[in-house]
Amino acid sequence: MENQNRLIDEFHKNSQERIRISQTKFRDRDLIDIRVWVQGKTIGEFDQVTKKGLTISVLLLPRLLEALQKAQKVLETEQKEPEFKPEKPQGQRSHQDEGRSSL
C-alpha cells in the first residue's frame, strides 16, 4: 500500500494542539487530510497524530470550501444582527413558570 503525504499548512488550534492540512495519496486516490496533532515525547514538537480529523477526496475540496464559506457567512450575519428576544410584559407568566405554584 502506498501512502504519501505533503504538508500544505498548519496552525495552532490551542496551546496543546495543531491542525495540519496535507495532501496525501492512498491506493492511487488523491486525498486532503485535515488532522489534529499533539505534542509527543519531544517537548515543543507536534509530532503525534490523533484520530481527530477528516480525510476527503480532492474532488470534494471545492464543495468543502463552499460549505465553509456558507458557515462563515452565517456567523458573520449572526454577529451583525443580535438575536431578537421579545420582552415578556410584566405579570405574564412564562412556560417555565406554569409548573410552579405560588404558595
For 12-64, the pLDDT digits (tens) are 999 889 999 999 999 999 999 999 999 887 777 888 889 999 999 999 999 99
Which residue shows C-alpha cell 489534529? 36
Q: Does 43 or 2 have the greater pLDDT score?
A: 43
CATH of domain 3-80: 2.30.31.10
Higher pLDDT, 11 or 77: 11
- Confidence check: pLDDT of 81 > 80: no
Given its phi and psi angles, is residue 61 left (phi above 0), alpha (psi -120 to 50 degrees) or beta?
Answer: alpha
Q: What is the pLDDT of residue 102?
A: 47
pTM value is: 0.67
Q: Calculate mean pLDDT across residues 73-90.
A: 74
